[in-house]
Amino acid sequence: MATSGDRPTKCVGTLDGHVGPVMAVRFNVDGQYCLTCGKDRLVKLWNPHTQMLIKTYQGHGFEVNDACASPGNSTFLSCSADKMVIYWDVASGKPIRKYRAHGQRINCIRLNEEGTVAVSGSYDATAKLWDLRSSSREPIQTLSEAKDSIPAVDVSDHEILTAAVDGHVRRYDIRMGRMYQDRLSDAVTSARFSNDNNCILAATLDSNIRLLDKDDGKMLARYEGHKNTDYKVDCTLSFDDAVVVGGSEDGRIVMWDLVKKTMLADFKADSSVICSLAYHPSKHLLLSASTGGKVQVWAPP
């Protein structure tokens, strides 16, 4: 369990390289590297521990909204307002494949644990599944139950989670061919499975983050204190599921005890919106990205 000394509240570095807003920051699977995506149409690969820029990837025509590294670190995916998903070769910096089936901008991208299937969520109110082992550029499945934009998706084992502006989180059991949905109080802009896969964490545009039981949709906890009414702002969990972390539109980062629901930390990170957060998969290390273009590395003081 995290103690007060474990909370990553001290800025120990910045990743400077994008011009304009940074849309997302994501650790790779083992937390050794991270990817950042910008309104400047670029994806950058970093060593966040040394703040070293390793490579820049150029290929999108509009802002890049999200990225996701593959388990082997040799490839990654990015998605953009240009309606395209690009599957990249890390070393060469060149696209392996480009996918163009969405009708509107693509908000988010995630990979399954094996790195074989990607899931993208779009402003066109669909989520699409892509088989990366196939040379086909067509999706293997389209999930079209959402009635509005899908700002966030997550993948765990044989399940896919979508968050939609229509106020629903939807969980798809791909193996059983079933869909379960839970209606929340407002537009859902961020959602993810907990690391133990028992719960769903979801952020809504009424400045609330909710913890739901994955199986029955029952609300287990609610976390308040941040500001989130207009923008997509990430919520996430520490690797041990002990701490809930939320960004805020006034530049703060807020942390809560998952079980007790008490606020553990509340600190100013930037003057602009903290839109993206990434928690290290095995250490108390946090990355944040803002619409002001700042990417920061946070560690325990």
Q: Which amino acid appears at position 103 of this protein?
A: G
Q: Which residue has the tokens 């690797």?
A: 239
Residues 26-77: pLDDT tens digits? 999 999 999 999 999 999 999 999 999 999 999 999 999 999 999 999 999 9
User: For the chain, how are helix, strand and coil distributed in percent, rounded to 5?
Assistant: 0, 50, 50
Q: Which residue has the tokens 């392996």?
A: 96
Q: What percent of the chain has pLDDT over 90?
A: 97
pLDDT at 3 over 80: no
The 8-class DSSP code of residue 33 comes to -
The separation between the first and the last C-alpha atoms of the chain, rounded to the nearest angstrom, is: 17
pLDDT at 287: 99
DSSP string, 169-234: EEEEETTTTEEEEEE-SS-EEEEEE-TTSSEEEEEETTTEEEEEETTT--EEEEE-SS--SSS---
Mean pLDDT over 254-277 rounds to 98
pLDDT at 4: 57
Residues 148-178: pLDDT tens digits? 999 999 999 899 999 999 999 999 999 999 9
- Mean pLDDT (the chain) is 97
Local confidence band at 100 (pLDDT 50, 70, 90 cut-offs) = very high
pLDDT at 6: 85
Domains and CATH numbers, the chain: 4-299 (2.130.10.10)
Mean pLDDT over 269-280 rounds to 98
Q: Is 291 left (phi over 0), alpha (psi -120 to 50) or beta?
A: alpha
pLDDT at 273 over 90: yes
Angle at 24 between CA 21 and CA 30, to 5 degrees: 145
Token pair for residue 256? 């809560």
pLDDT at 231 over 80: yes
Mean pLDDT over 3-13 rounds to 86
Mean pLDDT over 191-218 rounds to 98
Residues 6+ apart with CB under 8 A from 160: 119, 127, 129, 143, 153, 154, 171, 172, 174
Residues 182-200: pLDDT tens digits? 999 899 999 999 999 999 9
Residues 152-164, buried b or exposed e (16+ Cβ, 10 A)?
bbbbbeebbbbbb
From residue 174, alpha-carbon distances to 84, 143, 195 in Å are 24, 11, 19
pLDDT at 1: 45
Q: Looking at the DSSP assignment, which residues form a beta bridge with residue 253? A: 247, 267
Local confidence band at 2 (pLDDT 50, 70, 90 cut-offs) = very low
pLDDT at 107: 99
